Structure 1
């Protein structure tokens, strides 16, 4: 990594990026509280780890099923339109969950159904969210644009989980979910100010199946892409099972508690934000080498929860996990946005997300029963050790270790 100092705020001078940034800001205000609130909302309805895993899986399974469709839809109909539509649907469903929880009438099957709709809309919008930046800023500002989004996310997630933990303890999880639902709708309204020409469709345009095959060709012919995605199929399954499913359960069973769990998630956000500030001044030259080393730190909270489930030590390693996650996120987005053609980028991201997310429901559904059978703390520990082993195997790929940055100064993608 060299020590150039790019103009971090340059992307905000682009009107389209500025309004997109405001939209993501509003959306993330609610989103940073939603994960904590939803977990404890389910545990309020049923204290079973399996029930929580079922609700989370109901959200993630549609993401797996509809991700490829989302990539084609984004490239066909325009990325901002897809994001707006998904925000409206997700916002209404999240408000529905909030009303059920606040009224005291929530049942697990209702949460499962609404979570499944949110997962579907998220699947359709994820490739658009991931691939829209090259249309909003000049190519030589991609690192700064990605860093600004990460900085905003990190700043909010420092506060959001802790606020959510306090709300859960004081007034219940429903209010945090209501804030998230409202933020979806406000974000959709702000995106109206983003003006990107809609994709031009020819009369002889290929079918959706042909476009999916084109995306698959790019995916399988790019070694670093499929190697990292294959690894993340397992890594995300472990993390979602050990942290998202069993983490709140262990927090409730131990001295950590709901508020402590919120503090741990906020500590991870502190590390992410701190590393984001570093990335405003340092050019990431080997995006995947540093990225995979960084993501290995995500195993540390699992290991610490398995060995010593107390708030302070888990918070300490969560800071490192957040810093490493930011390095990977930035490195991965730069690798994709600089090396994949723009007209294929949404589809490439959809195959990336499909491979990365496909096993998440397995982790969410499997780790609950494993925790019951072998002990929650022990299963989390072994999950962390397996996570480190998979990261090491991924770094054995030369294509991953040696991928460089692509120097470019081109204008905003048409």
Structure 2
């Protein structure tokens, strides 16, 4: 739901007469250069693998004799490592070439998942080993995620950036849906170990693809002081922009309460009122379909005030908690989940466009690392407190409270003038020469920015983050 439209009305493009195409497969768009293609393909491949691996890891723990608590420990180890190391990952990605950080992080994830798979396949896996390997994987993602932010947008021309990122998200969301379905079938057919092995292979392929990125036009970075100094500079970038820190704070709570509602209360409501896992699976599938639909919408829609449009789309995130509080019948719940999925994807694309436009390129990874931290930091707390809160006030009241927090915080963020006023600039529309070869545009500093770690890395994370 943590780390993800195009703005104003652009002047009409000058028509260009293209030579007649020969018969055969349609060529890729002119703006989809080598780097964009490599990044998109790598993200789709890892998205397919990671979606199945999230299912496989849970069943691997259970097959090893672990309990539901052990399943939670393995998942929590990944999230905890991500929280601990994400700020360091952001600082490192702003000191050395980001594509190198991404390749090394993919190699770390390939190794950890490969060892995880080998232990499960040989029947030698113990819960403590799975916890350690899950934490290693989370550490790899902590370095990958900030480095990945902005890479796709810097690989295309400015006037096509919104459509390019939306299409990128279409691929990731489609891979997530397909990967979950395929992963579940493979777990049943061949066992969780082989699904984890496929995920390790996916990371290896992604690392190879990202190693071939053309970075000849990107100047060598000149790191200044220490990592702490770099983090201080990133913190100043965040706190100096009201639209940015207000949305980061908003999503720190929004992601946390949505995660509690959907990860803890949702399955309980489904079991007691909707008929079990089947209807809940339908609802979660509808949410995934909504994110795919939202990404498709953003390939066409270019809101003039991108942050305003994005933040208005946060209100529907209150619908699933409210629907569970009623509770709605299965089809009604699926409908509100679809709407919320569509809305969050609109926000994700608008958010990433704002970051790309407003944050200086050499500070983007540090800013996104604070964004990621805000997106996931409270999730372990709220999911742990969901049960006690239900015992204290009742499940229905707790769910209504989750919905109310989403609405109130979103309304509060709309009171920030920069959120309402930020528009796409002519600079963003103009783009930069050679952007299709991966050269990052020089970004204007001092403008407002927004929240949502939705860089769309496609690597997958155990957290239930709306933005990323």
TM superposition score normalised by structure 1: 0.87
Task: Pick one of 346, 353, 364 that aligns with 2:365.
Answer: 346
Further displaced range: 295-304 or 77-86: 295-304
The 2-side partners of 1:182 and 1:246 are apart by 35
Change (3 A) 1:343 1:275: same
> 1:392 maps to which residue?
411
Say whether the 8 Å CA contact 1:300–1:318 is kept in structure 2. yes
Report 1:10-25 matches (<5 A): 10=29, 13-25=32-44
Counterpart check, 1:200 vs 2:220: yes
The 2-side partners of 1:378 and 1:112 are apart by 34
Change (3 A) 1:310 1:279: same
Q: Deviations over 1:313-336 (max 9, x none)?
A: 322111111111111111110110
The 1-side partners of 2:171 and 2:104 are apart by 23
The 2-side partners of 1:376 and 1:103 are apart by 42
User: Displacement of 1:160 after TM fit?
Assistant: 3.0
Change (3 A) 1:316 1:152: same
Which ranges of structure 2 fall in alignment gaps of 5 or more residues? 1-6, 16-27, 441-468
Three-state SS of the structure 1 residue aligned to 2:214 is: coil
Task: Pick one of 304, 309, 312 that aligns with 2:331.
Answer: 312
Say whether the 8 Å CA contact 1:162–1:262 is kept in structure 2. no
Task: Pick one of 427, 431, 434 that aligns with 1:410.
Answer: 431
> 1:297 maps to which residue?
316
The 2-side partners of 1:318 and 1:196 are apart by 40
> 2:383 maps to which residue?
364
Three-state SS of the structure 2 residue aligned to 1:77 is: coil
Q: Deviations over 1:41-80 (max 9, x none)?
A: 55665554x5444333221122122112111211222111
Counterpart check, 1:58 vs 2:58: no
Say whether the 8 Å CA contact 2:8–2:423 is kept in structure 1. no
Report 1:50-129 matches (<5 A): 50-102=69-121, 106-129=125-148
Further displaced range: 182-191 or 321-330: 182-191
Higher relative contact order (CA 8 A, sep 6+): 2
The 2-side partners of 1:168 and 1:371 are apart by 33
Task: Pick one of 275, 282, 286 that aligns with 1:267.
Answer: 286
The 1-side partners of 2:66 and 2:401 are apart by 26
User: Displacement of 1:368 after TM fit?
Assistant: 4.9
Say whether the 8 Å CA contact 1:169–1:258 is kept in structure 2. no
User: Displacement of 1:270 after TM fit?
Assistant: 1.4
Q: How well do the aligned residues superpose, as a CA RMSD in angstroms?
A: 3.1
The 2-side partners of 1:36 and 1:246 are apart by 19
Say whether the 8 Å CA contact 2:86–2:146 is kept in structure 1. yes
Three-state SS of the structure 1 residue aligned to 2:356 is: helix
Counterpart check, 1:150 vs 2:169: yes
User: Displacement of 1:210 after TM fit?
Assistant: 2.0
User: Displacement of 1:152 after TM fit?
Assistant: 0.6
Task: Pick one of 166, 180, 190 that aligns with 2:209.
Answer: 190
Further displaced range: 93-102 or 217-226: 93-102
Which ranges of structure 1 fall in alignment gaps of 5 or more residues? none
The 1-side partners of 2:330 and 2:187 are apart by 18
Change (3 A) 1:161 1:118: same
Three-state SS of the structure 1 residue aligned to 2:99 is: helix
TM superposition score normalised by structure 2: 0.78
> 2:197 maps to which residue?
178
The 1-side partners of 2:154 and 2:298 are apart by 22
Three-state SS of the structure 1 residue aligned to 2:425 is: coil
Q: Write 1 or 2 for the structure with the bigger share of helix.
A: 1
Counterpart check, 1:334 vs 2:349: no
Q: Deviations over 1:295-353 (max 9, x none)?
A: 33223223223333754332211111111111111111011000111111111111221
The 1-side partners of 2:419 and 2:361 are apart by 21
The 2-side partners of 1:93 and 1:157 are apart by 21
* Equivalent residues, number: 412
Change (3 A) 1:264 1:180: farther
Further displaced range: 329-338 or 356-365: 356-365
The 2-side partners of 1:73 and 1:292 are apart by 30
Change (3 A) 1:254 1:86: farther
> 1:288 maps to which residue?
307
Change (3 A) 1:235 1:26: same
Change (3 A) 1:230 1:382: same
User: Displacement of 1:166 after TM fit?
Assistant: 4.2
Change (3 A) 1:381 1:41: farther
Say whether the 8 Å CA contact 2:44–2:171 is kept in structure 1. yes
